[in-house]
């Protein structure tokens, strides 16, 4: 009986181990152990999202988080799921969530507990009830060796260029994870039949330009002059046919921009002059991914990854996407 040809199955864990052998031959396996906690948590969250309408976990709670957003039931489940899956990994010293007032100190930072994990457990959660794509965003830092272990904020408040890894998971028609460790961006699709993320795209490159812009134009009158001028220009014949695509879920809007090209804009407004998106949990990880894919990310004044955060829940404007399109937005006067 002849051999039956079977397609090779490469999981995210296999991909990480292969990358470590290539780029970090002295790796101890600590990072892959950490990432297995991230993938486990997001698989559990994906299952909750899929069954949300059946088990009464849709809807909002009568409480706001530290950022002032209404907390959804699934926000709490996602937050605690990630905390539980990472809490026993042993090499994570600190976890920081958009949903929590303060960092969770698991153990004193040391050589054996050197990782700091920051995350937005369920981005776009206000869209849960209407079945719009939502996601999880994560960022991974290492302790600063020159800083005393008990100086917790000094370890956490690092500029984005010091991230050792970042990624997101989008829960939609399929569950897809994208991540980078500074050696390109790679994507994986969750295969429910085997319960594992399988490699679907490696070394993803964002198109250098694109005719799609993504912004909530309902706030147009509150935007800076330069952004209003850009929004006028994209509608002209000179612009050559731009189209607006805005979902209102950051992960979903960024995922489309990463694959199709274009630009996502979340400018400052009169009511939020410092911007709305969180630097540590949203802008930094997505900026790392964007740059690794050949794109760009700025707050309108400086590169996102060069910003040194001063607070856990610091907000920022964000202009992210194809480099040519981000540059074009910036060319319309001063946007911030």
Query: What would the DSSP string read from start to end of 246-269?
Result: --S-HHHHHHHHHHH--EEEE---
HSE at residue 62, side-chain half, CA atoms within 13 A, is 0
Query: What would the DSSP string read from start to end of 96-149?
Result: EETT-SS-EE-S---SSS-EEEEEEEEETGGGGGGT--EEEEEEEEE--TTS-T
Catalytic residues: 69, 75, 98-99, 120, 122-123, 282
Dist. CA 319–CA 264, nearest whole Å: 6
Exposure b/e, 211-243, CB count within 10 A at least 16 = b: bbbbbeeebeeebbebbbebbeebeeeeeeebe
Tokens (6 digits) for 250: 């950051």
Do the Cβ atoms of 117 and 155 come closer than 8 Å? no
* Residue (of 132, 27, 32) closest to 72 by Cα position: 132
Dist. CA 271–CA 276, nearest whole Å: 10
Q: Which residues contact 38 (CB under 8 A, 6 or more apart)?
A: 82, 85, 86, 117, 138, 167
């Amino acid at each position: 009986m002849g051999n039956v040809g079977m397609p090779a199955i490469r999981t995210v864990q296999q991909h990480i181990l292969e990358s470590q052998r290539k780029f970090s031959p002295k790796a101890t396996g600590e990072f892959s152990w950490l990432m297995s906690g991230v993938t486990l948590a997001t698989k559990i969250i994906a299952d909750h999202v899929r069954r949300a309408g059946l088990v009464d976990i849709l809807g909002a709670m009568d409480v706001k988080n530290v950022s002032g957003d209404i907390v959804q039931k699934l926000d709490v489940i996602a937050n605690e799921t990630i905390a539980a899956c990472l809490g026993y990994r042993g090499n994570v010293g600190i976890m920081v969530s958009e949903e929590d007032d303060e960092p969770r100190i698991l153990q004193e930072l040391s050589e054996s507990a050197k990782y700091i994990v920051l995350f937005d457990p369920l981005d776009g959660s206000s869209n849960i009830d209407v079945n719009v794509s939502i996601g999880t965003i994560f960022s991974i830092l290492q302790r600063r060796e020159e800083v005393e272990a008990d100086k917790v904020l000094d370890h956490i408040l690092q500029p984005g260029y010091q991230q050792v890894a970042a990624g997101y998971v989008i829960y939609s028609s399929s569950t897809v994870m994208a991540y980078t460790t500074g050696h390109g961006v790679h994507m994986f699709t969750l295969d429910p039949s085997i319960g594992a993320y399988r490699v679907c795209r490696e070394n993803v490159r964002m198109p250098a330009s694109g005719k799609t812009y993504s912004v909530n134009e309902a706030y147009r009158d509150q935007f800076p002059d330069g952004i209003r001028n850009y929004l006028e220009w994209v509608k002209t014949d000179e612009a050559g046919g731009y189209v607006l695509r805005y979902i209102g879920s950051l992960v979903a809007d960024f995922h489309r921009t990463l694959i199709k090209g274009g630009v996502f804009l979340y400018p400052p407004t009169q009511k939020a002059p410092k911007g709305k998106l969180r630097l540590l949990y949203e802008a930094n990880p997505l900026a790392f991914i964007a740059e690794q894919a050949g794109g760009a990310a700025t707050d309108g004044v400086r590169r996102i990854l060069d910003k040194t955060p001063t607070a856990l829940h610091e907000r920022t404007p964000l202009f992210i996407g194809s480099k040519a399109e981000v540059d074009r937005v910036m060319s319309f006067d001063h946007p911030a």
